[in-house]
Structure formats: structure tokens, C-alpha cells
Structure 1
């Protein structure tokens, strides 16, 4: 028996959630599972090409902004055509299309909560909570990534514990590893320097808060000449405000020691060239980029939001700072510059934690059990 899973997403472009879907599809045994992807809006062909399985189809509903009722009809017809065994939606926008899955009589409907939206950082938007409560009758199984997500689904939405699975993201420790330091694809001027390189990876968006990192870095360089001369900054990812961040760094006279190349497909060979990974997000579920950085033996500085505290052990694998607190972030960055020998110990601990607690194999095994066990129960 081969179980057909249809993954229902807002879009399929570079992002942590989407990268997790790629990893899952590539790692689940093709003899047991086959996959389809339905995007509400659009997808990036280059990103889709990261899927190594040759029997995966991707479809777009071409949803228009706002309430596009015809897109629900298109989803219903497509699901009737595909006839998947499982429809797995992720996050609020895709969850609404589980109504189409219900009407199409998809046997098992699974929904994953992967983090907060910028307009609802605490998950307390009353309209969203009500909508999720209504959909409890439509969805059979729920997946959350963090303890915060589990508490939210149980206490706010009212999901019963026996319908809820907490599955942490996993990282491919064979692909992301410190040995790749010898093959870094950082620009030669950075790779050959002995600077402490602070770096972050992610789409450039308000919720990811790269603006805080840039502001903190500029101020430190202006206040501490030694810091300026011994550090560099790397921001990987793209978004509408990337030119603005570049301009701020150029105005401060720092652009020569900063690198903002946009989206890259060689993250596994960029990360090992960094010294410290920084994630200043305003909200997170379980961050794939933190896990990838840890697997590359990088100490992590992260905002204390969402599941970050479940990944970063303060004093052991990195540091946590209060959300949007520039002064705390600066204190930790300055500490890294002043005591670089400590970075090696923290990085080694981070690599060990990635291998022991957050492996890709552990994540894939958990999803495999969820899919097979739930599908068999539903059939029975």
C-alpha cells in the first residue's frame, strides 16, 4: 500500500516551513508514500526542484487577494481529481481549504501550526481563534512544533490531547556540518579574514526582524572601533526591504564588511563560514535555520520567542535575548567579539545537540508514524 499525501500550502518558495516539506518528501520512503503539493498562490520552480522524488506534482489555485470563493471550488475539483488519502494543511490560510477536503471526502485531514503571523504574534486574534475552533470538526489530527504551539492548540483552540502531536523540525546533520568550513562559499574577502562573522538566514520580512540586527550592528560599530575592525555581518535572504538595509549599512560606511546577496541555494556551505548565527525574529515556531546553524557547529543568538528556547540552551549552545531588545542583543554580540574562544565550546555543544535531539531522521520517523497510524485508524 502506498499512501498518497497532498500538502496544502500558501505558496512554495524559500522558507523554513517549505524547507521542512522538502525534507519530509525527500526522506519518506517512496514505496510507502507519494506526494502532491497544492499552493494557494504560487511557487518557485527553482525551489520546487529541490525535491528529489520524481513522482511529486505541484498545482496552483492562483488565489486572488482577499476572500476568493472560486479558489475553494478549484481546490475541491482538484482534490476530487487527485483523490489523496491524506490532506495535510499548514497554517491558517491553508487550513480554511480543509473545507474543500471535507467535501471531497478525503479520508484523513491533518493540520499543522508552524508559528505566528506578524499580525497575531501571541496567537490571540479572536477571529482566528474562533475560526480554528470551528475547524476542529473538520480536522482529524493536529501537528505543532513547539510546547508553545501545543499549549495554544489545547488551551485556546480546545484541541484534545489525543488528537495532537508535537513534532519538532529536524536537520540533516549529514548535509549541514562543520567540516564544510573548508568549502565555504562566503566571498573570499570574508572567508579569508579573521573577523568574527555574525550571520542570519531567512526571508527579509518584518516578523524576521533583520532590521534590529542591522541597527544593533551599526550602533556597535559606531561606538566601538575595535568591534568595527574585527567583525562582519552576513544577511542571507530576500524581501522588499533588503535594499533599505543595504543602504543603511552603506550610509554608515560598513557595506564593505557586510554581505547581503539575497536568496541562496548553497546555505549548507555558507553557514560553516560564519562565526555566530543570529535570529532576531519577533515570532517563531521551531526555526529550521537555528537547527541548520547548530548542525554547522555555530553558537546561536536568538530572541526568546516561540520555540527558540527549546533549541538554544543559554550558556550551553548560545544566548537568548528579549524580543526586539536591541541593547540585550548588542551586549551579547559584544561579548562574542571580546571572548571569541568561547565560541568554539558553544559551537561544539550546538553540533552535539543537533545530532542527539534534532536529527532529520527523528522528525521523519515521527511523521511516518503519524501518517500511517492515523490513516489506519481512520480506515478502521
Structure 2
């Protein structure tokens, strides 16, 4: 008897913009670790994409930009409808508030299988309680075949606030490439402008999009408090924030006015994130809201202790006294105190960083993340039985 293998199903991923960021890196890693003979992929960007992820095209992934204007751009709905009609995907996977309206457009375009993921909230709705967004999610909920949440916090919110049926919600933890992101094997590389790094420098680092929800102003204020202290250990401190966004100029201005610009380096967007993480001694994330932070996972895989705000999924990733320290959001004095502990007690940072990497390897592998998404896609595309085929790439 001849066996006919069905062609791979097409999944369209609808996102805001394909640029440097945790959600975007997670999407690229997911595509790389899904079995290509079962699923192929296209990425539709509401805005546009940068060259940072353009290499994914070599894997046969089509990237489409809708070039949505700021504010309400009614024309982008028509452009999305036309794109979906041209692609004819088997399944659409939208992400976050910016993409959820795509569920209605997809339904009108005839896309029968629809998944929506929540990766974290933005500044306009930090706690998911804003009435108009809650109503929007509730109105669109019947169109969504399955929800994915990257943290327990978001999973509970989808069930309790949005009204999603528990059996239609899966929590899938983000994964990290623990081969690309690894601890430094020797002395730290001399990064930054001349005079930034010294032999005994203690580099406080962070990576992320510098927008309001990430609250990098609090980290800058904590840093300025520390270097103003007479404690001799604090004079070794340097600040490295990798990323771009509307808050970068304000942070640079604050550092310049304080006379501390020579002790900080804010290089904007970079492609050598793994190498820059290995130049850090401590990773700090001052966010006001998070889902499950990819940058925290990358820092932990790099053997770094983490100071983070106790919001969203951060308390699941950072175990106080074991892999890092949690502080309340918008608390520069408590953040400064946590940073000071690591600067003054180097052995503590080494212990916490080693445990952090072990935790990531055990619980946040990329193949395990891909298996979670594969189970969701398979349950929708093959509702009457399992789909035979290879597992995600190891």
C-alpha cells in the first residue's frame, strides 16, 4: 500500500514589527525548531521588519510588511485581508493586543484555524484591566480556537478576566539557546568606547527595547545613586543598556546632566547580544510589566545573576537568594541596594549565575518550547488523532 505524506501546513504569524526584541527572537527560534515537513511559516508585520531577522527568508519564510501608520489606520485591515487571501494559510497565530484584531480579519478571509498568544502587556494596559481592551478581547474570544500564554500570570488572566475556557489555554514557557548564550570563558571583553571598561570594572547590564514599559529611567536613577556613594566598590561600576527606543535619549540626557556619561554605554540596537552579555557581571531588568522575559533567560544562560522587578512572569524565572533578587517596580533605592550586594559580594554573583544557567538548561530548552507549540498546532490541524512525524529539532 502506498503512503501519501500530506504537504506541510502553512502558519501565518501576525506580529507588530519584526525587529530586535524578546518576542521576535522567540518567534525566530520557534520557526527554526519546528519540523519543516509538518509546518511552514510566513510572518506578517503590522508595521515593518529590519534586516536583523532578514536571514530567516533563507529558510523559505515569507515576510510581509503592512506598513501600518501610527494610530488608527483603517487601510491596514484591507491590506491584511488581501495578504491572507493570497497566502491562504491553514492557521494564523496572532500575538498580544496589537494583533488580536487580526483574528476577525482572518475569519473573514477564510482562515479556519486561529491561535492567539499573550506575551506581555504594554504601557497602555499594564494590568489587563482597561475596559475597552477587555471588551475587545471578550468580543473576539469566540473566534479564537486556542490561547497560548507564556507565563502562569497571563494564563490565569486569560481565564479569569478574558473568559477563555481553561481547556483552550496552554501555558508554554519561552526557551533559550544555551549554546549561543553561555558564560564567558576568560576575562571580559573590552567593549564600549575608550575608557568605559577597566580591568576591575563591574558592569551592570540590561538588554531590551527602550520604551516606557521597560522603565529604564529607574535603572539609570539606581546607577546614579550607587556611583554617588562613597563606598569604594561602587567606583568600579559601569552601566551598559543595549537597545533602542523612545526612552534612550532621555536616559542619555539624565546621565550627561549627572556627569556620568563616561561611565555608561547605551549603544542602541546591536546584533552581538550574546557577546555583550558575556561582558556583564550582573543583569538588571526594571520593567513595569513582563510576560516571560527572553532577555532574562538569555542572561541566565550566560551565567549572570539577575535583579528584576517582581512583575508578570519574572518571579517564576528569578528565585530570590538562589538565582537573583526581586525588587518592586519603580523602586530605584531598592534596586540600587540589590545591585550593591552583587558588587560588594562577588562570590554571591558567581553562585547565583551558575544556578541560573542550570535552571535554564533544565526547564527552558528550545526543543521543549517547540514541542509545546507543536502540540497546540497539531491539536487544531489534526483534531481526530495525532499527526505522525518527527519531533522538533534538538
Q: State whether TM-score is above 0.5.
A: yes
Q: Name the counterpart of 2:180.
A: 175
The CA deviation at 1:243 is 2.7
The CA deviation at 1:248 is 2.1
Is 1:118 the equivalent of 2:123?
yes
Cα gap change, 1:353/1:191 in structure 2, threshold over 3 Å: closer, same or farther? farther
- For residues 43 and 365 of structure 1, the distance between their equivalents in structure 2, rounded to whole angstroms, comes to 27
The CA deviation at 1:298 is 0.1
Q: Name the counterpart of 1:369.
A: 375
CA RMSD of aligned residues (A): 1.8
Q: Name the counterpart of 1:140.
A: 145
Deviation by residue 1:63-109 (Cα, 9 ceiling, x = unmatched):
23333333212211211110111100001121101111101111210
SS in 2 for 1:66: coil
Is 1:340 the equivalent of 2:346?
yes
Given the alignment, which residue of 57, 61, 66 partners 2:66? 61
Alignment of 1:286-365 (within 5 A): 286-365=292-371
SS in 1 for 2:180: coil
The CA deviation at 1:14 is 1.3
The CA deviation at 1:125 is 0.4
| Preserved CA contact (<8 Å) 1:180 1:269 | no
The CA deviation at 1:251 is 2.7
Cα gap change, 1:185/1:80 in structure 2, threshold over 3 Å: closer, same or farther? farther
SS in 2 for 1:364: helix
- For residues 127 and 379 of structure 1, the distance between their equivalents in structure 2, rounded to whole angstroms, comes to 39
Cα gap change, 1:137/1:185 in structure 2, threshold over 3 Å: closer, same or farther? farther
Is 1:8 the equivalent of 2:14?
yes
SS in 2 for 1:178: coil
Cα gap change, 1:153/1:8 in structure 2, threshold over 3 Å: closer, same or farther? same
Is 1:281 the equivalent of 2:284?
no
Name structure 1 gaps, 5 residues minimum.
none
Given the alignment, which residue of 69, 90, 108 partners 1:103? 108
Higher helix share: 1
| Preserved CA contact (<8 Å) 1:198 1:233 | yes
| Preserved CA contact (<8 Å) 2:8 2:40 | yes
SS in 1 for 2:307: strand
Q: Name the counterpart of 2:37.
A: 31
| Preserved CA contact (<8 Å) 2:8 2:39 | yes
- For residues 259 and 200 of structure 2, the distance between their equivalents in structure 1, rounded to whole angstroms, comes to 20
Cα gap change, 1:24/1:165 in structure 2, threshold over 3 Å: closer, same or farther? same
| Preserved CA contact (<8 Å) 1:91 1:114 | yes
- For residues 303 and 61 of structure 1, the distance between their equivalents in structure 2, rounded to whole angstroms, comes to 35
The count of corresponding residues between Structure 1 and Structure 2 is 379
| Preserved CA contact (<8 Å) 1:115 1:283 | yes
| TM, length-normalised to structure 1 | 0.95
Given the alignment, which residue of 171, 184, 199 partners 2:205? 199
Which deviates further from its counterpart, 18-27 or 216-225? Answer: 216-225
Q: Name the counterpart of 2:3.
A: none
- For residues 28 and 267 of structure 2, the distance between their equivalents in structure 1, rounded to whole angstroms, comes to 23
Given the alignment, which residue of 120, 143, 149 partners 2:154? 149
Cα gap change, 1:180/1:103 in structure 2, threshold over 3 Å: closer, same or farther? farther
Q: Name the counterpart of 1:244.
A: 250
Which deviates further from its counterpart, 27-36 or 79-88? Answer: 27-36
| TM, length-normalised to structure 2 | 0.92
| Preserved CA contact (<8 Å) 2:119 2:292 | yes
Q: Name the counterpart of 2:91.
A: 86
Cα gap change, 1:181/1:141 in structure 2, threshold over 3 Å: closer, same or farther? farther
Cα gap change, 1:47/1:5 in structure 2, threshold over 3 Å: closer, same or farther? same
The CA deviation at 1:191 is 5.4
Cα gap change, 1:134/1:96 in structure 2, threshold over 3 Å: closer, same or farther? same
